[in-house]
Amino acid sequence: MQLTVTPVKEPKELARAALDKLDLKPAAESTCLTYEFPGGGFRCRYDRRWYADNSSGVLRLMNRGILAGQCNLALLPKRDPNRLVSLEKFQEDVRKALGDNFSKFVAAGQSVNESGYRVLRVVADGAVPGKPDNVPIRWIYYHLADRQGHQSALTFTIEQEHTDRFADADEPIVESLRFVER
């Protein structure tokens, strides 16, 4: 076998003028990953700071080497769209779920995301037992439902000292969530 290497002229695509025109800043959609719920049912997009544990349905947000938050995702049974949980009932369910860890509600509201899904959002503060003291926590609970009655629940858990690091990291996940047939 013989191999001959011959220098070529610089390709015009690699010329300095062409390279200077390239926009090297990545578009937001090209830096996102897609999470598909184990077993199907829904998918969502998340940025690269989140790490998925597909076996448990958990996403963890790492910000500069620090765990800034966690997202637990769940697919709920399909329900008659006219009998979906109300915001008040959802708040009551959140209070019960947190039990003794609950301190106060910070916010509660209902909206529609870009897919037309109804979104219930409840924010609660509280604490969990830790050593040596209790650890202050903020929980952000979401209930999403489409017009056919598909439902999902997302719970974001953030240590209160990391709320600035977490910022609004929940919003792109909730906005991008789409129900898919199993």
- Predicted confidence band of residue 28 (pLDDT cuts 50, 70, 90): low
Token output for 20: 């200077």
CATH of domain 14-179: 3.40.1000.10
pLDDT tens digits for range 105-138: 999 999 999 899 999 999 999 999 987 899 999 9
Average pLDDT (17-28) is 78
